[in-house]
Amino acid sequence: MRLLFVGDVVGRSGRAAVVQHAPVLRSRWKLDFIIVNGENAAGGFGVTESILEEFFAAGVDAVTLGNHAFDQREALVFIERQPRLIRPANYPPGTPGRGAAIVRNAAGARLLIVNVLGRVFMEALDDPFAALDRELAACPLGDGCDAAVVDAHAEATSEKWALGHFVDGRASLVVGTHTHVPSADHRILSRGTGFVTDVGMTGDYDSVIGMDKEEPLRRFTRRIPSGRFEPATGPATLCAVAVELTREGLTKAIAPVRIGGLLAAAAPVFWT
């Protein structure tokens, strides 16, 4: 099985990169699933239903979220009717939406996707380890699903590493999101789970983590907000991680993907 996980999509330029490249990459690399973290897709804050439909029309199979899951108030309503939109599983009971979902492709392969939100340097939600343990136990790899991907949306690298080791051998892939900077530590853990600390941002890197530079610079230098954060609108770099799985649903090969924009290009050699 072949998976592509696309990192935090920021604003219009990030969305355009997904819409442009997703169908091409699916065809070129014969991808079974494409997953996108879309929690910054709507002007940098949350996602709208029309943006989701745009992603799905481009061939995206599922969209994960994070700490900006409900920044767009309409998300409180449409998340209930979008089974392929996944918010963090460790939100309190009663929160709209779902923290895990099984997505099937045309061949009938079953992919479990679980989203959790870290607690270090972030808002204090329920325990992400307990939530992840619960979701993986309810749908074991090789039994309830053919592959399992975890979006670990967290600030601290230590917490992401711990989450990866915690589910090593029980998930196909653990992808760190949120910090918007692609890390160079993609690897296969000792029991076969693919891991990367942060997949990176899909957006304009001539920015401050995707936002136009002026307002963040004013806030850093003067400590006084003088306007809204607005996404940078230059050409985006699509950042992703490509994974080839074994028949058992564990990682056989993993590699970074970077296309367009300012960062050096990268692609999986095992698919070219």
The catalytic site residues sit at 68
Question: Which one-letter amino acid corresponds to residue 101?
Answer: A
How far apart CA 254 and CA 39 sit, in angstroms, is: 24
Residues 6+ apart with CB under 8 A from 62: 33, 35, 36, 84, 85, 86, 101, 103, 111, 113
Could you give phi then psi for residue 2, rounded to 5 degrees? -120, 125
How far apart CA 173 and CA 250 sit, in angstroms, is: 8
Query: Pairing relation of β-strands 187-188 and 194-196?
Result: antiparallel
How far apart CA 215 and CA 213 sit, in angstroms, is: 6
3-state SS, residue 138: helix
